[in-house]
Structure 1
Amino acid sequence: MHGLTAVKLRCEYRRSPVGIDVPRPRISWQLAAGDGERRNVKQAAYRIQVAAGDGSFDGLLAWDSGKVASDRSVHVEYGGDELKPGTTYTYRVRVWSTTGDESGWSEPACWVTGLLDSTGWSARWIAGLHGGPMDQPTPADLLRKSFELRGGIKSAFVYATALGLYEAHLNGRRVGDWLLTPGWTSYTKRQQYQTYDVTDMLHTGGNAIGLMLADGWYRGNLAWKRQRNCYGSCRAGLLQLHVVFDDGSERTIVTDASWKAADGPIRMAELYHGETYDARLEADGWSEFGYDDSDWRPADTIDYPAAQLTGQENEPMRIVQELRPVQVIRTPSGETVLDMGQNMVGWVRFTVTAEAGRAITLKHAEVLDKDGNFYPGNLRSAEQTVTYICKGGGESETYEPRFTFQGFRYISVEGFPGEVLPEYFTGCVIHSDLEPTGSFECSHPLVNQLQRNIVWGQKGNFVDVPTDCPQRDERLGWTGDAQVFIRTSAFNMNVASFFTKWLRDLKADQLPDGGVPFVIPDVLPGESHSSSAWGDAAVICPWTVYQCYGDIRVLEEQYDSMKSWVEYIRRQGNNPLLWNTGFHFGDWLGLDASENSYTGATPKDLIASAFYYYSAHLLSLAAEVLGKREDAEAYRSLGGKIKEQFRREFITPSGRLIAPTQTAHVLVLMFGLAEGEAHSRIVQSLVELIEERQFHLTTGFVGTPYLCHVLTENGHHVIALKLALQESYPSWLYPVTKGATTMWEHWDGIKEDGSFWSDDMNSFNHYAYGAIGDWLYQVAAGIRTDEKQSGYKHIQIRPQAGQGFDYVRAAYESLYGEIRSEWELSNETMNVFIVIPHNTTATVLLPGALLESLQEAGESVLVSEGIHVYEQTAAGVSLVLGSGSYRFRYDWPEA
């Protein structure tokens, strides 16, 4: 086949990752075939070669798989020699098609190993002037060391981490562009370090290396009770620079007592509260050779175990986008406010020329109040304030923070000399640098803005962990928020390694009895654990990663955690088949809550028992995938018993659900807890509950993600559309009509009269209700994976048209390549465009189509190449397709 080749090679989901500690990394690739118009391209065999060191494939290889008869092109595990630390491994792939064609070798790709285990560390932890115990915010430390190198430099890598946050510098330049390193993990149990290729930053002769340290998540302020030192009271850094010379000799520079420490210009750096920077205290050249550090004091060394250190597991945080202010506002109360035009997360870079000592203060907020004034009320105790004290001297000065981040759209500017102009300011958008994978567009402009809001909500809250909000004194990895949104997030971005890393922290923080903390990493008081729908993240999230990416390893890693959670539930109370004890958040922020309550009216034991069944069911499926047949059968049996008991407890003999709430009905239908007449009655009752509210929802965090799904799946797609397209409060589009650019925590965060829901808990960047994005992709566009062939190896496409949409266009970049589903209703004709990536197949259902008149590319579908099976069904035409692009056309029956 002309042009057959393997492309877009990845190792552990990433292109050319540096510093991974995976002993058997997995390799993935996509197939390309000529002009891209070919159909039915499928892999029959592959061959992988891996070379260590110089990347030459002519010598002794670390691994040559030989020709392997397999259609597998995702997660192929390295099977060669034991990996060596600090080594570059270059690999390439050759493939054969089922028609016997052979590709050439792919373009090579590589990965670089980290130190692999604790024995690779010879550095000592070192602390600066402010490394000791503190009970208040502290200045950042500067640490440095000069050294000389003799001979040509072949390669050099820096390995670094911190108890706190760090930034590394080498010869006057910052090392890498990763932010807020080493990220946030359950530090006392596992901590990441980062690896940087610095070969081009070193030179023969004199060199200098430096570290800047701040408190960060490790010992800074976390949560709303101003607690500090959650993981430890001593701040320290750990670094080693490994140099290999042209002659094969090596040298390692490490943090130890020979380093020197001093104060720096960052006088305060807190994640919630901002940063204070005094440019008059800058130590110009502090990380350069020849800098006079005679008045710096020796660094302190501290003892801290290295056994829990692991190489960077997920994508790092970076500045991924820059925005300019769209306007400068003079508020009624006299404030000068910049409007970024978008609720964003990150910080502001600005340039100023002013006299020495002038203080410029930026305060950050999400919204203006109904009078148009700057409104910081919903930040609670988070100050979100950046202060820059000018160096002076007549030259322009440019500054941006390092060790904080803010959630904001508006910036109040104080102390700026002269006129405040937009061109002096740049908004730096930061988040985990996840690959965008999804796009969704339709004929409804408010829905398009809703989709943008969902994506921006994900950007702002995927800051190394999946946080609830990015602005107030919280910003925690709430498990409930993560599990309701994970499926949507996986459409928008490749979140596989992001959640793999977070789930390892969940497993690390899980209680010995299997209970799961409310937030991961866990920084809340001891009893803050094990609510239903929150703790169920232990099961739902790994299963979702498996479904979206075909990643069996995440199930293997998390299986014990998943099982422990289900067994934890089983031990609660005196009935092992119901969960009716303990604290539960219930249907959080449900609109049917009683006065002064955050919890909706759905009985908490109904929610808890429903999720108990769901987790037991998913656990049985995971056990089946992993070949644990006894467990699979045991938890299948347990699930059946829970379901039977649930029906006795919550569904009357006549089929009525005891709780007259939308969420109760949604959970029963979504989890398959009712059958037969009871199922039909509960469907009809849900419809009536929605009609009673004039097609408005009352669901909270628990019911909302599933609401439109159960309506569509149970024959009420028209009602699902009415809910999704509803513009009046409460609805998904109401915040859009109020100018929202991210998802809100409350359906009425801003009321019709412009007043706010409350100061206490009113985030305007809270992704949970963005879970409707899953319905947009899976139902409106119709893109789904097959549960039995996960990771989009076999694709299900079933676009659902209906009133309110004239067209929908969606695409998803799977590990196999782009999947596309587009439909348009025009002149009583349905036009559907579908793209299926090579080495996959798809089952497509075209609703309302008739086989005898269905056309593909202008011809009868019966003679179309690439269609393996076609069948007329009551719902429409069902087709099984090979890879390629297809254009279908048929008369729309509802015209």
Structure 2
Amino acid sequence: MKRTYEERTKKRCLIDALKILAILFTIIAVMIGIELLVEGLTVVKDLTVNFETEPMGVSTESEPHFSWNMSSKVKGQAQKTYEIRIFEGEDGSGNPIWTSGEVESGDTMYIRAEGLILEKEKRYSWRVYVQPTWGWKVVSKAATFVTETDFSETDWIIPIQEDNKVSLVRTQAEIRRMTIREAYLYITAMGNYRAYVEGKEVRGTGGSQTVLAPGLTDYNHTVTYQTYDVTENFRDNLFDNKATIGIALSKGWYGDDHGESSLYEAAFGPDDSVCEMGTAVRLILRYADGTTQTISTGSSGWYSGNYSGVEIGGIKGMIETDVPDGATAGISEEAAEESGESGEENSEDTPSAMTRRIGPVSCMIDNRAAAVTQGWTGDDYIEQVDKWTGVTIARYGGTIVPSYAGTARIADEYEQKYETAYCYHEADISDVGSAGRPYGEALRHEPNTVEKEKDAIRLVPGEKLICDFGKYLSGQVDVTVSGEAGTVITLTYAERLNEGPSEDELTAEETDGRAEISGEGSEDGTAGGDAAETAEEPDGPIGSIRLDGAVTNIYVLGGDEEEEFFPRETYQGYRYVEIETDEILTIRKITGKVFTSQGRKTGEIRTSNDDINRIIESIAVNRLANDVSVPNRSVRSGEREGSLTFAQILELTDLYTADTRAFFDHFIATVQEQGRQTEGIYGLTAPLAEAEDNMNVAGGSDAGIIIPWQLYQMTGNTAVLEEHFNDMATYMNRVYTESYEIPLNGDFLAIAGTSGKYMAEIYRMYDTEIMQKVSEALEREDFAAAYEERLVQFREDFMNKYLDEEGNILSASADGLTEDKDGTPIVDNSQTALFWALKLGLFRNEDQRVNMLANLVSGINNPGSMLRPGDAEDTLNVGLLGIGVALPVLSEYGYTDLACDLLKTKDYPSWLYDLDHEGAGRNPYGYAMDSVGEWMYRYLAGIAPDPERPGLTHIILQPAVDSGRTLTSVKASYESMAGTIRSGWDASGGKIRSYTCEVPANAAATLYLPISKEQADSMRVPRGAEYTGTEKRNGQTCAVYELISGTYRFRVPME
């Protein structure tokens, strides 16, 4: 049947309509797919509160700040709006208790929760809802935080304590048989604590094991407390109506030599003549029905005892102890009888009854004494009336504040098994020696193994086992052994083997004052002095000459099938551990554990040069080891205190290599509190380690100005500056009115010195410049103008006094000096003086600048050792105040090739000389040399914050290629607050050939690529990059590109 025209037309229209619908559905489906794809490629991550991931003990009195960042594979992805929602509980669901509302902003850092009201002792969660420029809204995973407690109504208790013994404190309270939804332990101490709840040791965020808590503070004024989630410890409490808390107290910094020299005796407790240990505890239980129960320290229900079996002298202290071989040691007669041991049983047949004195000893653990109180942390333990007594109530007049940043953790990710081990007998050491090994050579032999036990070692009396962990560690060795009860084991820690020639055996040229510079001691027959660069590593006993303080641990076996010894109340710096025994011993496990206050690793850098890679690895290891509670000067030297000089020199390296933002935020708060207590004196250490440290010294006390400024540059957090501005201004006023004291050398530890008055003028100017910028950042225009006026005058006065017409720096003659207080020669145009003058731009014209650079470069090159007789070519002779600025200044003035030459030299003093001699303080600058890490990230790889926009939301990328051809490639990454930044280059013939980088989402960068205009004009520009021309920067001609977020690869054409 024929269709009419109208019917055919309707059919065609229907078909056309269906086609159009099909096209529309296809477009919609594609758009949805793109949206879903884009959404999947963008993630909101790295949520932090007050610099910390999932913090415990967040203040309810001040508004916390919230931060996050984004990662995305969508080029140019950025944040258009954000919304923060805060919830009760841990899963980030339900109705929020607070919301920011949708805020149109690209800000992702330090967002204040205005109007937020938080309850104490409670867990909260939060999420961020981000609308990006491309794609649908992205929601973060939930992150949590737990709020603080209030100790104002909680008693401090003092346990029974005797000499160096670790004191035990415990309580057991009745609780309800009901599900516990939340349980938090809040604890602080005078001394260090180890805490247990329900028989389990408490752990920090993410399950990390906290050590050396509560950390080093000025106990006269402040002590910190920590918060632990112990909910899991009560999972089975439906069948148990008891809660048990156990605390082991040791001296820590508070009660050892540090505490005595810092006058902490009167900080706490009724006896002002000694540092009495004490603790304050609050356990908060929140039941399923919403009710809470608090168990806290007080006079009732708390018991103490000293049968821990552990004696320890604190962090820096030592114990002198008589150790009978195989006999009762370190415990009372009644405790020995209790454990079935007696010193009389084996006193006649063997010489083991003879007492041998070993010292200095850091720690002694006697497992026979510990058997008396076995199980004391659990519910089933019953206190024996003759072993436990009550506690004394005490008051503390200082402030108790929440903080984890001052504690340390056991960094399991850096756990190290020994690489090699060998045994030797004292009788097998040749006393003849050789030129390289004057104290003789030990005849090594492989350790005896245990049949059918692959990793076990059998050690016999008279034999010593040396384990080499292959790298420098800071912490303790965890050892598991088997042996007869009463067997005495001795562990001695060291950084090197027998050290080669003594100082007396070196020539004058070889020593040249290096003993004083390196802080040598005298040899004791088991270790030599400073080694000549040609000396071989002896096959002898471990060296101890540079180990200041107690480095020996003594363990006495209790007779169990296996016994683990792992003291965590102090720490050691070591690479080698020597183990000996007085009875046959089976060693089943030897593991090196690392203690550090650093967080996760944030920086990675690798180069084409193996030697420079060794320096990079050494820096990471050293920084882990020395950032413990405070920035230590040196674990090795026993100077385990907050050194302001080293902290300011090493801060930027630390901030690049690991998450240390909260660590430095905590430390600078300690420094500023110290300044308030002394009306503007920051001192040399924080907290003050010695009364004589209480002075303002150029390059030391200036940390109170420099550290917060550098932290602000890397994080963009103005709160760091706002919080401390008044204290910083007070310090500056004191410097202006009283200047600095100069008790030390102008440039401490320099080979060629600089006038102390010169360095005082330098730091006064540098601090003033920083304070001007701080004032501008905080919009304190009146202060900014006042500091600028002073700075102009200081610069003029400086150049009038120390700069001649040709551009020579009169760093000696202007002050009429020829040598420093220790005899170090002071010279004009010293390297340190030139570096600082160039850093601060202290010249009047280009001719002076050129002459200053010529003086500096020729002095470093030292061709044929003509300019600096006795010193090698391409070496530095700066001191502590010059080492941190040396390489950055060279790169800023276009001498990166010379900076690389300094890195690759192996002559004294240099980075590789240090490593080739096992890195144990061979160079005068010690661990200050690690400051070169900042140069590697900021200049060599070229990842730097924009000084006009701190916080790395806008990044300056400027790779510095080594025209001297030492390096042909560098690859680096940095996990900033803004996200992951990458930068890497390849070169040939001293010219860059390719460059790759990554700019994180919601960030931007300016790239200064060291190529000519002709190369830039002919090079293909990657998508997302905008070429804006060429300019001179850091002594190099650079093509300038503006980059949106994303990854880039630039292929540079040949010239």
Q: TM-score, normalised by structure 1?
A: 0.90
Instruction: Quote how far apart the aligned CAs of 1:57 are.
Output: 4.2
Residue 598 (structure 1) aligns with: none
Q: Is the 8 A contact 1:792 1:814 kept in 2?
A: yes
From 766, 775, 795, give the equivalent of 1:643. 795
Residue 682 (structure 1) aligns with: 852
Instruction: Quote how far apart the aligned CAs of 1:402 are.
Output: 2.2
Please give the residue correspondences for 1:575-594 in structure 2 after superposition, counting only pairs within 5 Å: 582-592=742-752
| Runs of 5+ consecutive residues of structure 2 not aligned to the other structure | 1-34, 204-208, 269-274, 319-361, 430-441, 443-462, 501-537, 811-827, 866-872
| Runs of 5+ consecutive residues of structure 1 not aligned to the other structure | 574-578, 593-600, 750-765
From 66, 71, 75, give the equivalent of 1:27. 66
- Does residue 452 (structure 1) correspond to residue 617 (structure 2)? The answer is yes
SS in 1 for 2:998: strand
Residue 557 (structure 2) aligns with: 390
Change over 3 Å in CA distance of 1:472–1:711 after alignment to 2: closer
Instruction: Quote how far apart the aligned CAs of 1:158 are.
Output: 0.8
Please give the residue correspondences for 1:129-144 in structure 2 after superposition, counting only pairs within 5 Å: 129-130=160-161, 136-144=163-171
Give percent identity, aligned residues only: 26
Instruction: Quote how far apart the aligned CAs of 1:47 are.
Output: 0.8
From 175, 183, 188, give the equivalent of 1:156. 183
Change over 3 Å in CA distance of 1:527–1:28 after alignment to 2: closer
- Does residue 428 (structure 1) correspond to residue 593 (structure 2)? The answer is yes
Name the amino acid aligned to 2:483. A
CA displacement 1:658-711 (0-9 Å, x = unmatched): 122111101111122223132222111111211225211101111111112222
Aligned length: 841
SS in 1 for 2:226: strand
Instruction: Quote how far apart the aligned CAs of 1:826 are.
Output: 4.9
Residue 812 (structure 1) aligns with: 974
From 674, 690, 696, give the equivalent of 1:530. 696
Moved more, 226-235 or 833-842: 226-235
Please give the residue correspondences for 1:300-699 in structure 2 after superposition, counting only pairs within 5 Å: 300-305=391-396, 308-314=399-405, 316-320=407-411, 321-330=414-423, 332=429, 335-369=464-498, 370=500, 371-379=538-546, 382-393=549-560, 395-415=561-581, 417-418=583-584, 424-510=589-675, 512-526=678-692, 528-572=694-738, 582-592=742-752, 601-658=753-810, 659-676=828-845, 677-692=847-862, 693=865, 694-699=873-878
Please give the residue correspondences for 1:776-855 in structure 2 after superposition, counting only pairs within 5 Å: 776-802=936-962, 803-826=965-988, 830-850=993-1013
Moved more, 41-50 or 369-378: 369-378
Aligned counterparts of 1:494 and 1:56: Cα–Cα separation in 2: 26
Aligned counterparts of 1:396 and 1:110: Cα–Cα separation in 2: 40
Aligned counterparts of 1:223 and 1:263: Cα–Cα separation in 2: 21
Instruction: Quote how far apart the aligned CAs of 1:378 are.
Output: 3.5
Instruction: Quote how far apart the aligned CAs of 1:58 are.
Output: 3.3
Change over 3 Å in CA distance of 1:225–1:162 after alignment to 2: closer
Q: Is the 8 A contact 1:224 1:473 kept in 2?
A: no
- Does residue 221 (structure 1) correspond to residue 257 (structure 2)? The answer is yes
Aligned counterparts of 2:985 and 2:582: Cα–Cα separation in 1: 52
- Does residue 260 (structure 1) correspond to residue 299 (structure 2)? The answer is no
CA displacement 1:45-80 (0-9 Å, x = unmatched): 111111124656433x32111111111011111224
Q: Is the 8 A contact 1:222 1:473 kept in 2?
A: no
- Does residue 292 (structure 1) correspond to residue 328 (structure 2)? The answer is no
Aligned counterparts of 1:892 and 1:645: Cα–Cα separation in 2: 49
Change over 3 Å in CA distance of 1:607–1:892 after alignment to 2: farther
Instruction: Quote how far apart the aligned CAs of 1:404 are.
Output: 1.2
SS in 1 for 2:1023: coil
Name the amino acid aligned to 2:281. L
Aligned counterparts of 1:75 and 1:289: Cα–Cα separation in 2: 44
Change over 3 Å in CA distance of 1:852–1:527 after alignment to 2: closer
Instruction: Quote how far apart the aligned CAs of 1:256 are.
Output: 1.1
Residue 520 (structure 2) aligns with: none
Instruction: Quote how far apart the aligned CAs of 1:585 are.
Output: 4.0
Aligned counterparts of 2:592 and 2:583: Cα–Cα separation in 1: 20
From 87, 106, 110, give the equivalent of 2:122. 87
Aligned counterparts of 1:308 and 1:300: Cα–Cα separation in 2: 22
Name the amino acid aligned to 1:329. Y
Instruction: Quote how far apart the aligned CAs of 1:97 are.
Output: 2.5
From 47, 51, 69, give the equivalent of 2:87. 51
Aligned counterparts of 2:875 and 2:1005: Cα–Cα separation in 1: 35
Change over 3 Å in CA distance of 1:835–1:217 after alignment to 2: same
Name the amino acid aligned to 1:438. G
Q: Is the 8 A contact 1:364 1:410 kept in 2?
A: yes
Q: Is the 8 A contact 1:31 1:839 kept in 2?
A: yes
Residue 366 (structure 2) aligns with: 278
Name the amino acid aligned to 2:616. Q
Residue 182 (structure 1) aligns with: 214
Residue 759 (structure 1) aligns with: none
- Does residue 10 (structure 1) correspond to residue 45 (structure 2)? The answer is no
Aligned counterparts of 2:751 and 2:763: Cα–Cα separation in 1: 21
CA displacement 1:400-426 (0-9 Å, x = unmatched): 1021111111112121754776x5211
Aligned counterparts of 1:829 and 1:613: Cα–Cα separation in 2: 37
SS in 2 for 1:361: strand
SS in 1 for 2:801: helix
Change over 3 Å in CA distance of 1:878–1:159 after alignment to 2: same
Residue 197 (structure 1) aligns with: 229
Instruction: Quote how far apart the aligned CAs of 1:891 are.
Output: 3.0
Change over 3 Å in CA distance of 1:696–1:517 after alignment to 2: same
Change over 3 Å in CA distance of 1:564–1:266 after alignment to 2: farther
Name the amino acid aligned to 2:938. Q
SS in 1 for 2:570: coil
Name the amino acid aligned to 1:737. D
Change over 3 Å in CA distance of 1:829–1:347 after alignment to 2: closer
CA displacement 1:746-793 (0-9 Å, x = unmatched): 4279xxxxxxxxxxxxxxxx4211111111111111111101110101
Q: Is the 8 A contact 2:630 2:667 kept in 1?
A: yes
Name the amino acid aligned to 1:317. A
Instruction: Quote how far apart the aligned CAs of 1:306 are.
Output: 6.5
CA displacement 1:726-756 (0-9 Å, x = unmatched): 222221221223343xxx544279xxxxxxx
Name the amino acid aligned to 2:566. E
Residue 887 (structure 1) aligns with: 1049
Change over 3 Å in CA distance of 1:209–1:313 after alignment to 2: closer
Aligned counterparts of 1:58 and 1:551: Cα–Cα separation in 2: 31
Change over 3 Å in CA distance of 1:27–1:228 after alignment to 2: closer
Change over 3 Å in CA distance of 1:866–1:92 after alignment to 2: same
Name the amino acid aligned to 1:300. V
- Does residue 733 (structure 1) correspond to residue 912 (structure 2)? The answer is yes
Instruction: Quote how far apart the aligned CAs of 1:223 are.
Output: 8.6
Aligned counterparts of 2:70 and 2:1018: Cα–Cα separation in 1: 28
Aligned counterparts of 2:727 and 2:262: Cα–Cα separation in 1: 31
Moved more, 463-472 or 280-289: 280-289
Aligned counterparts of 1:226 and 1:619: Cα–Cα separation in 2: 30
Change over 3 Å in CA distance of 1:872–1:714 after alignment to 2: closer
Instruction: Quote how far apart the aligned CAs of 1:471 are.
Output: 2.7
Change over 3 Å in CA distance of 1:431–1:538 after alignment to 2: same
Residue 758 (structure 1) aligns with: none
Q: TM-score, normalised by structure 2?
A: 0.77
Moved more, 318-327 or 541-550: 318-327
Instruction: Quote how far apart the aligned CAs of 1:299 are.
Output: 2.7
Aligned counterparts of 1:702 and 1:420: Cα–Cα separation in 2: 50
CA displacement 1:807-850 (0-9 Å, x = unmatched): 00111111111110111125876111100001111000111244
Instruction: Quote how far apart the aligned CAs of 1:123 are.
Output: 2.6
Instruction: Quote how far apart the aligned CAs of 1:307 are.
Output: 5.6
Moved more, 638-647 or 471-480: 471-480
CA displacement 1:284-315 (0-9 Å, x = unmatched): 22122231114144432332237611111527
SS in 1 for 2:691: coil
Name the amino acid aligned to 2:304. A
